[in-house]
Amino acid sequence: MDKSKPFFEAKERELKQAKLDSTGSFHIQAQAITEASYALSYRIAKDKKPHTIGETSVKPCLLECTKIILGDTVTQKVADLSLSDSTVKSRINDMSADIKRQVIEKIKSSPMFTIQLNESIDVASVSQLRVFARYVHRETIEEKFMFCCPLT
């Protein structure tokens, strides 16, 4: 009841997209759109760009290029791609949590591991605690950066 009109319009579009034909192609399309959203969010994080670039720059470029090259039907599918600031943030957080889970599983399954603590000073003269973990995985030693936090 307290939601805005755009919220309900987005829900209506989602419901229309959720309808499946006899081959189930809409389900596959939705899965591909979500996968593409994760891939673009990964690229935004990797390039250290602001999360808003997906909605303000990447998506408009994609829409323009697909309309020119592939036509209106494909452009509509690309328009369904969610690259809002909150979606990109959520996707990056999901990928980060998954990587963290994988590293923790590797550490737990390792016959031995070490943790290295390192203190360094950043450009603002604040002491930072950095934590690294080394562990054995598939007969090789791997090292992963775990986290960094300011020391009080």
> Tokens in use for 30?
């939705």
DSSP 112: -
Other beta carbons within 10 angstroms of residue 114's beta carbon come to: 10
Residue 23 above 70 pLDDT?
A: no
In the chain, % of residues over pLDDT 70: 90
pTM of this prediction? 0.68
Using one digit for the tens of pLDDT, what is the confidence trace for 29-72?
778 888 999 999 999 999 999 999 999 999 999 999 999 998 88
Under DSSP, is residue 119 helix (H, G, I), strand (E, B) or coil?
A: strand
Tell me the C-alpha distance between 70 and 39, whole Å.
Answer: 21
H helix or E strand, kind and range, residue 45: helix 25-46
